[in-house]
Each structure stands twice: as C-alpha cells, then as structure tokens.
Amino acid sequence: MFRRHLLRKTPAMERFIAIWKEAALMPSELIRRCTPADAQALAAIYDPIVAETHISFEYIPPGPSEMRHRITTADDFFPWLLLERDGGVVGYAYASAHRSRFGYRWSVEVSAYVAPTARRQGAARRLYTDLFQILAAQGYHAAFAGVTLPNEPSCDLHRNVGFTVVGVFHAVGFKQGAWRDVMWFERLLRPATEAPSEPLALSAVERA
C-alpha cells in the first residue's frame, strides 16, 4: 500500500501562489494608437468632463463626430493613444502642437483623460509613459501641460511622471461661474544639447 505524500507549502511557494492568483485576477490591458472608430469611446470619457467640471475650458461637449475629426486631423505627427482594459476603453492621452509659429515645432502640449472607474489606478501614468517614448523617438524636445486649478490629482500625476512647474496663469479662464487659474508644467523629452533634426512622422518611427 502506497503512502500518500502531500507537498508541504514553503513560505516561498506560498508567495508564488499569491502572486500567481493576483496576476490571474488582473485585468487584461492594451495601449494602442487611436483610430477614428474609437471616437465614441473617447467622447464618452471626455464629454462629462466638459459638461460637469472646470477641468476643461470647453463649454460644449464635442461628441463622437468632433472627436473623430480631432483624431483624424492629428495627422501622422501627433500621437493619440488609448488604454483598453478587458476590451473597453478606460483612458486616452494625446499630443498636439504647442504653438503654430515655426520655431515651436519641436514642442508639444499633452493631455490625458481617464474614465471615473479607472482613476487612481495608474492608467494616466502608463499612457503618458508610452506617449513620451513615442514623442522622443519622433524627435520632439519638450512637452507642456496645463492643469486648471484646483486639481491636485492631476498636479500629482504630472509631477510623478517627470514634469516640473513653470508657473501659474491667474484668472486665465472662466468656467462654472468662476475665474480659473491654470498651472503649467514642462518636461524635457530629449536633451537640449544640439540643433535638432526635423520631427519624424509616426509612420517613419514605426518603420525604423
């Protein structure tokens, strides 16, 4: 008669099992470029921010049609990224031109927006991390971001991903019955050591 031997759980094995169970429960995530087909999902995140908060100085929620136009007109030089979690879009981030004059073409403004159910879970940080890597590969030099005050979570986010405070524009916008200040942040993407090459299109970076 064979005696049944039970495997004794060691502390190391118990830690491994705990990590494995935690990983099994983690949602499946994917960061990818936005397409016009994502416009409705992005508008579902952004429209309530416009309608219900002072965070954006837009007054009228853009809706899917305008969001589709913005994704399309970003062209091949300004990335729009989204974060999918378990097949649903929970956040997005994008870059746009900092100013229209030619000498500003190595600088971008960036923004990130996250659905209420996914906030304070690292979504914006992951989006920004990937966005900065792409922008640096394209040859952009610096990123800037404006945060309408008060908004401590957004200020903390920008500090935590490497931005430093430039200053505050006081009473620069009016929303929800009050004048609003905007704090501006900057983050270098590449060292300012030499004359830059022209920024690359996204398609050129993807081919490299």
Question: Does 21 map to a domain?
Answer: no
Compute how many other C-beta atoms are within 10 angstroms of the C-beta atom of residue 149. 16
What pLDDT does residue 194 have?
Answer: 79
Question: Does 12 map to a domain?
Answer: no
What pLDDT does residue 140 have?
Answer: 96
Token pair 């050591």: residue: 193
**Running DSSP on this structure, what letter comes out for residue 141?**
-
pLDDT in single tens digits along all 208 residues of the chain? 444 444 455 665 566 555 454 444 456 899 999 999 999 999 999 999 999 999 999 999 999 999 999 999 998 999 999 999 998 999 999 999 999 999 999 999 999 999 999 998 899 999 999 999 999 999 999 999 999 999 999 999 999 999 999 999 999 999 999 999 999 999 999 988 878 899 999 999 888 7
Question: Does 1 map to a domain?
Answer: no
Rounded (to 5) percent helix, strand, coil in the chain = 40, 30, 35
Structure-block tokens of residue 135: 């922008």
Q: What is the number of structural domains in the chain? A: 1
CATH at 62: 3.40.630.30
Question: Does 67 map to a domain?
Answer: yes
Rounded Cα distance, 59 and 146, in Å: 17
Token pair 């006081």: residue: 170
Helix (H, G, I), strand (E, B) or coil at 142: strand
Question: Does 20 map to a domain?
Answer: no
**Domain range for residue 70?**
29-207
- The whole-model pTM stands at 0.84
Question: Does 85 map to a domain?
Answer: yes
Angle at 198 between CA 197 and CA 203, to 5 degrees: 120
Question: Does 4 map to a domain?
Answer: no
Question: Does 9 map to a domain?
Answer: no
What pLDDT does residue 192 have?
Answer: 86
SS3 for 55-104 is CCCCCCCCHHHHHHHHHHHCCCCCCEEEEEECCEEEEEEEEEECCCCHHH
